[in-house]
Every structure is written in structure tokens, then in C-alpha cells.
Structure 1
Amino acid sequence: MTIGTSEAIEILGTISFAISGSFAAMQKRLDPFGVLIIAFVTSIGGGTVRDLLLGDTPVAWMRDVNYCLLILLTSIATIFFKRHIKKFKVTLFLFDSLGLGLFTMLGLQKGIVFGLSPGICVALGTITGCFGGIIRDTLLNTIPLIFRKEVYATACIMGGILYFSLVHFQMKSDLAKVAVIAFIFTLRVIVVRYKLSLPKFGY
């Protein structure tokens, strides 16, 4: 069976966010069941919110149990290999950034399939990329990244605008997808590496 670009992106995104969620849970010293739950909500949270907004039910992970099995196996593997990975924070950041790019692209594509306007497609991409992390951080009693100084949702929005710009200038769709995923990942790395941030407001 041949796996298409969208399917490959969804599989990689699921794995990336499952690893990200697992490491976030292990940082909080949760038990294996807690790690699995956090990995699960990180991987399926954004897509679930997106599908509910679109009325596309049952939501994706309910229609294909293979994604649940993929999250389970990824979580177990992450727990098993944790002793070989010393820098939890770096690993969490890298997989979270990769998952952000992959799932943003998935949300964009879902909006396009439903025939929605580019602006709504970008919003769906942002929701798909960000909401799993929001639920994860909320459950772990951490202020979600999207509400802090780091460029997070902004990276999704910029990636979405880039995608429609590339397609407008007749770049092949698959190539544009890869370019956008790489852009979002690279932007997140640069922002964190050089401690760039949006202005903060408050008293």
C-alpha cells in the first residue's frame, strides 16, 4: 500500500507529538499511565478540535484505531529509551517544533478539502498545530506555550501564509508542504536559540 504525502505527514506528526507529550509528562514525573494520557491528548487534541469545528465526525482518531496504537507504541518506546536521553528539555522542544509544523500543514489541508477560504484554512492549521499542546500544558499545570513569550501560534500563521503564497506562484503542492513544515520548525529553533519574542503586555 502506497502512503500519500498527507498520510505520511499525519503519521510523522502523531509520532512527534506523542514523543513531545511523553517527555513533558516524564518531566513532571508522571507514572506510565499518566505519560500515555498526556501523549494521547497532545497528539489528538488539535485534530479533534478541528474536526469538531468542521462537523467531521466521528473525529479522525475514532475512525482509524491505528493512530491510537501508534501513540501507544510511541509512548512505550519513549519511556523505554528515556534513560539514553539526558536532555529532556531539548528533546521535548525539537519534537514539539516538528509536530507543530506537521500538524499545521494537516489542518491547512483539511480546510482546503472542505473548500474553505485561505484565512479559515490558516486558522484551522493553527488550531491543529497548537491545541494539543495547550491541553497538554493545561493538564500538567503549566502555562501553555501559545500564551507565553515564545513565537508559537505566530509560526503556524506565518507558515500558512507561506503555503498559499508558494502555491499561488505555482510551486508543486507536495514541495510547498515540505517547505512550510521546514519553515515552521526552523523558525521555532531560531526564535528559541536567539531568545526572540513578541511584545508582552501586563502590569
Structure 2
Amino acid sequence: MDKLHSLYNFLDLAGTFVFAISGAVAAKQQRLDLFGICAIAFTVACGGGIIRDICIGAIPPAGLTNWHYLVTAIIASGMTIGLYAFVQRLNHPVQFFDALGLSLFAVTGAQKSLAYGHNAEVAVLLGITTAVGGGVLRDILLNRVPLILEKEIYASAALLGALIVVLGYYTKILSSDWISLIALITCFGLRLLALHYRWNLPNYSK
């Protein structure tokens, strides 16, 4: 495998950090103890990446072997607990950090799949899996309906981000760093706009 560029490593750890914050906030809102908060934060931060690594053959998964991920999740948990009053000032903090983590992991998930020699379809699907996997595990553990099973624009935003990465990889119209930033901004922007304007996918429950 070619060495992943430096921006990938930054985005991956940044995604770990913000997803850990979203997990820690959700866990604290459920009144879990310190271990529970750290456990949920790590699960959210690394769950999707672990699933991706297993699927692409990156064994053992980086989330379990690279200490940076565990330390990042613990630091994010500690900061969330210590600065919870500040975090609460954000409008819907779990949704904000979840949207940022979703965008970061949609990009890095697709990038790592491509770096391991997999095709476009695998890269897009595992980009989505990386982005939504941790959030799904969080919601299941906290006894909530996962967002991807509701009508919100969530996984579809990750799909768009992963698609941009894959298209940029094959067309090479821009450098990988620029493509990553465009994909990140597009996914994050779409998710925030969907939350603000309450854009939803069609609901066929009736």
C-alpha cells in the first residue's frame, strides 16, 4: 500500500476527536459514569474505522493497535467532562460534532479503502460505513434509534463526501489534499444545512 498522505492522518485523528466528543456528550446526557463516558466515546470514535479496516484487510484495525486513537478519545472525553458547560452552549452539540465527525470519516474511510487497492464501489460504501458506524453503535448502546434509519439527511451526506473523494482519485483534476477539503466541506455543509432547514428524505410510513 502506498503511504497515505499527511492530511489523511490529520483528518483521521480530527475525526476521532470530534466523534469522541459527540459520544462523550451523549453519554453524559444519559448520566453514565466516567468509564461509561470513555467507553462510548471510544466506540463512537473508532467503531466505524474498525469495521472498515476489517473489511479491507487492514488487520488488526488501527483503532485497536495505534495508541493515538485511544489517547485522543480519552482526551476528548476529559475535555468534554471538564468543559461541559462550554460545550452545552453550542446549539445541539451532539449533532454539531457528529456532523463534523461524519464528514471527516467519510473522507478518510474512502481514502484508506482506495489506498488498499479497492475499487470505487468499495471505497464509497466503506467511506459511508466509516462515517456512520460509530454513531450507529453509540445509538444502539444508548437505546436510541440510529439516525441512518430515520428520514434525516445523514448517510446520504457521507455518500456525497465519499463520492467526491473517489471521483477526485480517478479523475485527478486536483491534488488529493484539495479533493479531501472539498469533500469535507461539502459533506459537512450539507449536513448542517439539512439540520438547519430540516431537510429530510421522503418518508413512506403512511
Q: Distance in 1 between matches of 2:9 and 2:86?
A: 30
Q: Distance in 2 between matches of 1:40 and 1:29?
A: 17
Q: 1:24: which partner in 2?
A: 26
- Given candidates 150, 153, 158, the residue that maps to 2:160 is 158
Q: 2:186: which partner in 1?
A: 183
Q: How does 1:121-140 map to 2 (within 5 A)?
A: 121-140=123-142
SS in 1 for 2:88: coil
Are the equivalent residues in 1 in contact too, given 2:23–2:44 (CA < 8 A)?
yes
Which amino acid is 2:86 matched to? H
Q: Kindly state the Cα deviation for residue 83 of structure 1 after the two structures are TM-superposed.
A: 2.3
SS in 2 for 1:29: coil
Runs of 5+ unmatched residues, structure 1: none
Q: Distance in 1 between matches of 2:89 and 2:141?
A: 22
Q: 1:97: which partner in 2?
A: 99
Q: Distance in 2 between matches of 1:9 and 1:15?
A: 10
SS in 1 for 2:203: coil
**1:69 partnered with 2:58:** no
Q: How does 1:33-112 map to 2 (within 5 A)?
A: 33-87=35-89, 90-112=92-114
**1:143 partnered with 2:148:** no
SS in 2 for 1:85: helix
TM-score by length of 1: 0.93
Q: Kindly state the Cα deviation for residue 73 of structure 1 after the two structures are TM-superposed.
A: 1.3
Are the equivalent residues in 2 in contact too, given 1:27–1:88 (CA < 8 A)?
no
Count residues with an aligned counterpart: 201
Q: Relative to structure 2, which stretch is displaced further, 49-58 or 100-109?
A: 49-58
What are the Cα deviations for residues 16-72 of structure 1, in whole angstroms up to 9, with x where unaligned? 101010111111121111111110100010001111112221110222112111111
What are the Cα deviations for residues 83-134 of structure 1, in whole angstroms up to 9, with x where unaligned? 2333466211111111001111111011111211112100010000000000
TM-score by length of 2: 0.92
Q: Distance in 1 between matches of 2:87 and 2:136?
A: 25
Q: Kindly state the Cα deviation for residue 169 of structure 1 after the two structures are TM-superposed.
A: 5.7
Q: Distance in 1 between matches of 2:62 and 2:23?
A: 19
Q: 1:114: which partner in 2?
A: 116
Identity %: 34
Q: Kindly state the Cα deviation for residue 165 of structure 1 after the two structures are TM-superposed.
A: 3.2
Are the equivalent residues in 1 in contact too, given 2:80–2:87 (CA < 8 A)?
no
Which amino acid is 2:157 matched to? A
Which amino acid is 2:202 matched to? P
Runs of 5+ unmatched residues, structure 2: none
RMSD: 1.5
Deviating 4+ runs (over 6 angstroms)? none
Are the equivalent residues in 2 in contact too, given 1:9–1:102 (CA < 8 A)?
yes
